[in-house]
Chain A
Amino acid sequence: MIGRRWFTPWLFLLPALVILGVFLWGPAVNTAVLAFTNTRSIGGGSFTGLENFARLVADGDFRNALWHSLLYVVGVVPLLVALPLLLAVLVDSKLPFVAFFRVVFFTPVVASMVVVALIWDWVLRSDGLFNYVLQRLSIINEPVGWLTDPQIALFSVMAVTVWKGLGYYMVIYLAGLQNVPRELYDASKVDGAGPVRRFVSITVPLLRPTMVLVGALSAVSALKVFTEVFVLTGGGPARASQTLVPYIYERGITPGLELGYASAMSLVLFLLVLGFSLAGQRLGRAEVAA
């Protein structure tokens, strides 16, 4: 501590501050500014007040994408809160080979989303494996266009998101499970509680804070979904599975270069993400207080 020059800490911070400044804080401010301009390509553009937002309200494609993003959250979050918890309880055991299952269940998390999407693209096509299996099990009679039917495509993409997320959230729950005192389970066994009862009365209440965390994390990542949609359906057919980020990409990067308009959309996305994060934090705090 003694004899250190005042700028020493700043030298240590310098690379991080420069990178965050140039590629994060700068762009964050710039996004907020661009959202109120009609900037089309570099340099040009002037302030147009709230015009972009007025356009957004009137833009049917935007409302469509926004609706799908919200639907995505509603569809994906409950599954990603519940299923990984069950999975975590299932693999939280010292029985032989369970450790192996634990590792295998994590593999989809490690594979990149592009690969996962391409693999499912092959499984879900109308003459693909999934339709075959379902037909053999007599669950369906005719092949279903999982990725080509406008009524279904969005939900198929959601299923892929859930499939890839299972292992990730399972690990978060596993960490939470390690904090549940074993004695509680032992005591309840003595009282004659079965596994279902133990799950409902001990595991779930004690893991509520973790469930809130998983809910918030999965909601935010559902709002940000891009790769699955882009690779599996391209947002189609006819925008039936388009969500916010692919639409921002379409209007702001390729093919369109409506930077101002796309930034306004980004701001809406940010408010949604912020809203869900804050709600998660609120709920989390209420949990701790309770």
Chain B
Amino acid sequence: MSATTAPPRRSAQPPAVAPARRGGGRGRRWVGIALRYALLLLVLVITVGPFVWQLATSLKGAGENLFANPPDLIPNNPTLENYAAVAQVVPLTSYVRNSLVVAVASTITNCLFGAMAGYALARMRFRFRGAVLAVIVATLVIPFEVILISVFLITRSLGLVNTLPGVVLPTAVTALSIFIMRSGFLDLPREVEEAGQVDGAGEWQLFRHVALPSVRGQLAVVGIFSFTFAWDDFLWPLIVLRDPANYTLTVGIQFLSGTFSRDQAVIAAGTMMIAVAPLILLFVLLQKQFFRGVGEGAVKG
């Protein structure tokens, strides 16, 4: 591999470095560690900086110049009045409620329908199983953006435009959810179900009480994926929801930035409050599954 064909350009260097290493191996180690932390801090500033600036802006009162030069990172008189302003003008509670309904519904349907389909594909033998599996695999290559227009048309003919079910249904179960669940069921030992069958349990009982509890890990991954996706999605709710009263948070916040374009502090308060907080909370609580989920999603997707 390329390890052996790597350019010999650096081969002249080791002799020059070697004496230093012999003399100061410990010192060099510390320099390396310091360098690593310096880089980590640099990336930290780049990553967190914009969030902090937004937070600072959101806490600045009416009397404060948002465009002060130099910029004030710390507000002179920190105030929550912008947060109150957002809550008053924007139908905030309804946005939160709509987003919650959409995200929770999507989580439930993806977990349940994904598990049911995944179970059938992993544990049952039937005609056309291979074909069904192949068609679902093929589904993975069709991006939503490509079929957007036609999804809108079918949603419209079903009378679901401007409704929350219209937001949820197109992604109520995704091929990815089915795959993650299927891989979970595939890993289960046969004996688990055989034990249940001896007890005379029906297929549904077997699924519900024996198989499903054994794939909690995958359920968590599918659940978190579906929740975050639904919570963060913008393009589809933007298309389906016409009436501001039905907006979800992402569409609402974009609407908000148009309405308040004169007052950046209020927009900042809105973004901080509406969209960042809940997700960071969720993320901190469920960190482990998150990382696993991204890994699985990458491999399967």
Contacts and interface: CB of A to CB of B under 8 A. Distances in A.
A4 B151 contact: no
A171 B291 contact: yes
Interface in A126-182: 127, 129, 132, 136, 163, 166-168, 171-172, 174-175
Interface of A is mostly: helix
A171 B294 contact: yes
A197 B249 CA distance: 48
A270 B197 CA distance: 46
Given A12-B207, A104-B48, A249-B235, 15 more contacts: A4-B203, A24-B139, A31-B146, A106-B290, A107-B280, A111-B232, A112-B231, A112-B275, A115-B250, A118-B253, A226-B234, A227-B234, A252-B149, A254-B239, A259-B153
B148 interface: yes
A213 B294 CA distance: 13
A83 to B, nearest CB: 9
Interface string B1-36: 111001000100010011001000000000011001
B147 A266 contact: yes
Given A26-B150, A31-B147, A90-B43, A20 B175 contact: yes
Interface in B27-81: 32-33, 36-37, 39-40, 43-44, 46-51, 53-54, 57, 67, 69-71
B154 A26 contact: yes
22 contacts: A4-B203, A10-B120, A12-B207, A13-B120, A15-B112, A27-B147, A87-B43, A114-B250, A122-B57, A123-B53, A167-B47, A171-B295, A194-B17, A213-B298, A227-B234, A231-B257, A245-B148, A253-B148, A259-B149, A266-B146, A273-B143, A277-B141
Contact of B71 (A4, A129, A194): A129
Interface string A81-121: 00000010011010100100101111111111111001111
A255 interface: no
Contacts of B232: 111-114
B147 A122 contact: no
Given A12-B207, A123-B53, A290-B1, A266 B149 contact: yes
A190 B172 CA distance: 54
A253 B149 contact: yes
Report which residue of B43, B44, B136, B152 has the largest number of chain A beta carbons within 10 angstroms of its beta carbon.
B43
Interface string A251-290: 0111000010011001101100110010000000000001
A267 B146 CA distance: 7
Top 7 closest pairs, chain A to chain B, by CB:
A27-B150, A112-B232, A16-B117, A12-B120, A30-B150, A23-B170, A115-B275
Contacts of B175: 20
A31 B37 CA distance: 51
Nearest to B53: A129
Interface string B212-238: 000000000000000010011011000
B120 A114 contact: no
Nearest to A175: B295
A22 interface: yes
Interface string A221-234: 00010110011000
A207 B40 CA distance: 22
A120 B157 CA distance: 38
B92 interface: no
Contacts of A274: 141
A107 B51 contact: yes
A230 B46 CA distance: 23
Contacts of A121: 257
A109 to B, nearest CB: 8
A17 B203 CA distance: 19
B181 to A, nearest CB: 10
Contacts of B46: 163
B105 interface: no
Interface string A27-43: 11011001000000010
A220 interface: yes
Interface stretch (A57-65, A70-78, A198-206): A198-206
A224 B283 CA distance: 25
Contacts of A47: none
B44 A104 contact: yes
Contact of B69 (A112, A132, A192): A132
B199 interface: no
Given A19-B173, A270-B142, A119 B235 contact: no
From B125, B127, B151, name the one whose CB has the most chain A CB atoms within 10 angstroms: B151
